[in-house]
Amino acid sequence: MSDYSAGKTPEPGKRLDPAEFIKASMHLAPVPSVPEIRLHLAHPGSGLRRLLEPGDDSDESRPEPQPPYWAYAWAGGAVLARYVLDRPSIVAGKRVLDLGAGSGLVGIAAAKAGARAVIAAEIDRNGVVALRLNAEANGVTIQICDEDVTAGPPPAVDLVLAGDVFYAQDVGQRMLPFFDRCLAADIDVLVGDPGRAWLPRPRLCLLGEYQVPDVGGNGGSVPKPSAVFAFVAKSA
């Protein structure tokens, strides 16, 4: 039995190995509303806090871990994944960017639906580890980018899938100019969201709606309406 699954804490000053911790302490389970995909998901007994505690790391330039958004299946990602799996022609043969990938749910769905290539952009170092493990568990190949792709020109893709990127005002404001650069480069942008406050509704065209649980956060496991939108150019 792994020390992690036994609930043991590593020696003082020693950083947990994220891959070993995730495999031992987080359930690999089907995603509610997207049972075709299994993810390593947090649960009440996973002890996730231990993974976020800093160890003795001499590299002070390494950013501290962000809140573990990657450990949950959020509604915006779930609705995008469901939409793509139900309509594989949307991604078939295309190069796809899963923006703010977190667990990799959306990118995995795109790969399963026949995307030619999938890039998953995730800046949290623990999230990158979880994303790689989740891709392996689902038998798909995903290229992982651990840098902020929104700061510059869009990568060479045909389609951007962005789930749950409007959960905060500052994050949403950073997305809009990037999405506009995508449109200018003839890259389509689809957004998945359960209707959060910072959603830029005047720039969105509703494509589809599903009842999915917002597993991460206060939504619990009760299905609620979540939607997929096309991001559109500003009106003249």
Q: Does 101 fall in a domain?
A: yes
106 close to 161: Cβ distance less than 8 angstroms: yes
Rounded alpha-carbon distances, angstroms, from residue 180 to 167, 186, 221, 232? 19, 10, 34, 8
Q: Please list the ranges in the chain whose pLDDT falls under 70.
A: 1-15, 53-66, 215-221, 236
Please report the pLDDT score of residue 66 as a whole number.
62
Please report the pLDDT score of residue 56 as a whole number.
42
71 close to 26: Cβ distance less than 8 angstroms: yes
Q: Say how many C-beta atoms besides its own lie within 10 A of residue 57's C-beta.
A: 11
Please report the pLDDT score of residue 51 as a whole number.
79
For residue 19 the two structure tokens come to: 């891959």
Please report the pLDDT score of residue 46 as a whole number.
82
Please report the pLDDT score of residue 14 as a whole number.
58
Q: Which positions ≥6 away from 2 have C-beta within 8 Å? A: 20, 23, 24
- Please give the angle made by the CA atoms of 187, 120 and 137, to the nearest 5 degrees: 135
Q: Looking at residue 89, which CATH number applies to its domain?
A: 3.40.50.150
> Is 36 in the same domain as 97?
no
> Is 88 in the same domain as 197?
yes
Tokens 């406050």 sit on residue = 197
> Is 117 in the same domain as 162?
yes
- d(CA 45, CA 157) in angstroms, rounded, equals 39
Q: Does 5 fall in a domain?
A: no
> Is 204 in the same domain as 182?
yes
Please report the pLDDT score of residue 36 as a whole number.
97
> Is 78 in the same domain as 184?
yes
Please report the pLDDT score of residue 28 as a whole number.
94
Q: Does 4 fall in a domain?
A: no
Q: Does 6 fall in a domain?
A: no
> Is 59 in the same domain as 172?
no
> Is 110 in the same domain as 209?
yes
Q: Where are the alpha helices (DSSP H) in 37-157?
A: 49-52, 75-86, 105-112, 125-137
Query: 101, 43, 40, 113: which is closest to 76 by C-alpha?
Result: 101
Please report the pLDDT score of residue 146 as a whole number.
94
Please report the pLDDT score of residue 58 as a whole number.
44
Instruction: Indicate the number of domains in the chain.
Output: 2
> Is 176 in the same domain as 84?
yes
Looking at 70, 103, 134, which one is the last position of a domain?
Answer: 70
Looking only at Cα atoms, what is the longest distance across the chain?
63
- The DSSP annotation for 50-65 comes to HHHS--S---TTSPPP
| Per-residue DSSP letter, 215 | -
Q: Does 213 fall in a domain?
A: yes
> Is 136 in the same domain as 216?
yes
Q: Which domain holds residue 76?
A: 71-231
> Is 91 in the same domain as 135?
yes
Please report the pLDDT score of residue 220 as a whole number.
55
Q: Is 150 helix (H, G, I), strand (E, B) or coil?
A: helix
Please report the pLDDT score of residue 226 as a whole number.
95
Question: Where are the extended beta strands (E) located within the chain?
Answer: 27-31, 34-41, 95-99, 117-121, 143-145, 159-163, 188-193, 204-213, 223-231
Rounded alpha-carbon distances, angstroms, from residue 6 to 77, 87, 235? 31, 42, 57
Please report the pLDDT score of residue 68 as a whole number.
85
Please report the pLDDT score of residue 47 as a whole number.
82
111 close to 16: Cβ distance less than 8 angstroms: no
